Amino acid sequence: MTFNNLMVTGGCGFIGSNFIRYLLGEEDFQGRIINVDKLTYAGNPENLSGVEEAYPGRYFFERADVCDAERMKEIFARYDVDAVCHFAAESHVDRSIRRPEGFIYSNIFGTFNLLEIARHRGDAFKLFHHVSTDEVYGSLGPEGLFTEETPYRPNSPYSASKAASDHLVRAYHETYGLPTTLSNCSNNYGPYQFPEKLLPLMILNASEGKTLPVYGDGRNVRDWLYVTDHCEAIWTIMKRGRRGETYNVGGASEMENIVIVEMICDLLDELMPLEGGAKRRSLITFVKDRPGHDRRYAIDFSKINRELGWSPKESFATGLRKTVDWYLKNRPWADRIRSGEYRRWMEEHYGG
């Protein structure tokens, strides 16, 4: 299936920006991308610098809130949008615990709004792909994996809002016959991730000799996937996935948080040793646990593997090395975000 005018929502965030770069480089996509992003604190146009110039006439940016029905209708009509890949969301669990409202608004109402507009586009509309998370399934004990049949049991306001949006997508397919696909993916890591999430936070803090705050006992497990592998999975599903279906996407890389932090410390000690040979592991500090902290996530991705032939290419060891390398080389990117320079630039260009 080909798409001529693909709306990517949340394209200035971590995965969305990686996806846009990935897709514009794929030979089997020759259409236009319309990136719709509200530019919250997590949306950074710098993540896509050079893209418009590299692909003339194929990349467009619209600063807009996916909850704004009038703006969205106008953008769908003006670009003759025939498919949506929906990333836009509030995405950080800790923020959802402190202030859930924005998650309910953007993640649930925003998805509803796009689905409503999409269904009124009629037969010209080819696909609504919804990007979701394995966190909708809740928490696992020491054994077992999440499959597409695992019942939803979200534990945080973030995962509950994503679960609600997944249900809306499913309902729009069942009720209105909207062509949809849905992916539930494990934790991503790689370039352009906002430095509040585990990997970039630890890489940047460790490189600066700052404290490394590990929640609880550090034994919580996540299944890590390099972001480009996720992008490839999404594109594979969009092209060839069965409509109305859900696909789990994972990295086959289950890791305890503490092990990851130790790996980052050791890698940085190798790449940029501290004076006197001090070891960065001494920076690790166990802090108060996150409330409702899910113990373990692990993904069974045999469905996408069997039906569509996808599997992750990157191992955690190779992906981590690439990621550490990227953050060290792109220090000014992170410095600008953290110093407020990026906020000031946003105010000048976009009025805040």
Q: Which is nearer to ligand NAD, 66 or 203 (CB)?
A: 66
Cα 325 from Cα 317, distance rounded (Å): 12
Of 79, 137, 158, 342, which residue is the catalytic one? 158
Cα 241 from Cα 221, distance rounded (Å): 29
Cα 64 from Cα 45, distance rounded (Å): 13
Q: Which is nearer to ligand NAD, 195 or 216 (CB)?
A: 195
Please identify which residue in 187, 236, 246, 257 interacts with ligand NAD, judged by CB under 6 A. Answer: 187
Q: What's the min distance (Å) between Cβ of 252 and ligand TYD?
A: 17
Let me know the angle formed at the C-alpha of 225 by 222 and 226, rounded to the nearest 5 degrees: 140
Residue 108 is a binding residue for ligand NAD (CB under 6 A) = no
Please identify which residue in 130, 222, 230, 303 interacts with ligand TYD, judged by CB under 6 A. Answer: 222
Residue 20 is a binding residue for ligand NAD (CB under 6 A) = no
Nearest to 342, CA basis, from 46, 4, 37: 46
Count Cβ atoms below 10 Å from residue 282 Cβ, excluding itself: 11
Count Cβ atoms below 10 Å from residue 199 Cβ, excluding itself: 22
Residue pointed to by tokens 């993640």: 107
Residue 107 is a binding residue for ligand TYD (CB under 6 A) = no
Cβ–Cβ under 8 Å, residues 107 and 67: no
257 binds, among ligand NAD, ligand TYD, none (CB under 5 to 8 A by kind): ligand TYD
Element (H, E) at 53: helix 51-54
Stretch that binds ligand NAD, among 89-97, 209-217, 234-242, 294-302 (CB under 6 A): 89-97
Please identify which residue in 6, 7, 20, 39 interacts with ligand NAD, judged by CB under 6 A. Answer: 39
Q: Which is nearer to ligand TYD, 26 or 94 (CB)?
A: 94
Q: How many residues can be counted in the chain?
A: 352
Stretch that binds ligand NAD, among 88-96, 201-209, 266-274, 314-322 (CB under 6 A): 88-96
Residues forming contacts to ligand TYD in the complex (CB under 6 A) are 93, 187, 197-198, 201, 213-215, 220, 222, 257, 290
